[in-house]
Amino acid sequence: MNGVRRRGMTIVEVLVAMVLLSMMLGGVLSAVELSARTQHSTADLAMARSLAADLLEEVCGQPYVDPADPDESGLGADEVAGDRSTFDDVDDYHGWMQKPAEFADGTPIPGADAWQRRVFVRLVDPSAPDVILGTESGGKLVIVRVSRGSVVYSEMRRLRTQSWDRFTE
């Protein structure tokens, strides 16, 4: 051929360019997927923490002992198991579980259909809240656990003492 140069790309060059572009596009899509998954996970953690904090505040805002019968522990005659609107002291919540999550008045919490909240109240020594006791000593450890399916997303704990009631009356 008389020194005439052809301009253009060969099939091999086109194939190499396509392979390189598809590898780069795959990497970009993986990064986008990871980012979306991380944002979703962050939103889940924020929702779980909010649900736990809300319920923990509600439980710890109740009197330490039953106002109608200070010697009673657990559900009293005026409380209905599972109906937290009848709970009037901290230990009424022990063993309480709810799914889907609702406000105290029973209205559903928007976006919380799949979430479950569970409360545990343990008798503890106020000076050593990690030590669970079998008898009353002036301290109750309130634990709120929030899960979706079998995965626990948040667990919050607060020590509630009998002496706190004296400061808030």
DSSP 130-150: EEE-SS--SEEEEEEEEEETT
pLDDT at 169: 47
Query: How many angstroms separate the CA atoms of 134 and 100, rounded?
Result: 32
Q: Identify whether the C-beta of residue 100 lies closer than 8 Å to the C-beta of residue 112.
A: yes
Q: Identify whether the C-beta of residue 61 lies closer than 8 Å to the C-beta of residue 164.
A: no
pLDDT at 74: 59
Q: Give me the mean pLDDT over the 54-61 stretch.
A: 94
pLDDT at 37: 63
pLDDT at 52: 95
More confident residue, 126 or 86: 126
β-partners of residue 58 are none
How do strand 151-161 and strand 128-132 relate by DSSP bridges? unpaired
Q: Give me the mean pLDDT over the 107-114 stretch.
A: 89
Q: Report angle CA 61, 64, 65 to the nearest 5 degrees.
A: 130
Summarised one tens digit per residue, pLDDT across range 1-10 is 566 676 767 8
More confident residue, 15 or 118: 118
Summarised one tens digit per residue, pLDDT across range 144-161 is 999 998 889 999 999 999
Query: How many angstroms separate the CA atoms of 48 and 148, rounded?
Result: 9
Q: Give me the mean pLDDT over the 56-70 stretch.
A: 85
Query: How many angstroms separate the CA atoms of 90 and 92, rounded?
Result: 6
Name the residue with tokens 């399916």: 149
Query: How many angstroms separate the CA atoms of 90 and 83, rounded?
Result: 14
Task: Name the 3-class secondary structure at 10.
Answer: coil
Q: Give me the mean pLDDT over the 33-57 stretch.
A: 82
pLDDT at 105: 83
Percent of the chain with pLDDT over 70: 80
Encoding tokens for residue 150? Answer: 């079998």
Q: Identify whether the C-beta of residue 104 lies closer than 8 Å to the C-beta of residue 84.
A: yes
More confident residue, 122 or 33: 122
Query: How many angstroms separate the CA atoms of 96 and 119, rounded?
Result: 5
What 3 state SS string does 114-126 have? Answer: CEEEEEEEEEEEC
- With 0.85 as the threshold, say if the pTM is over it: no
Query: How many angstroms separate the CA atoms of 76 and 94, rounded?
Result: 13
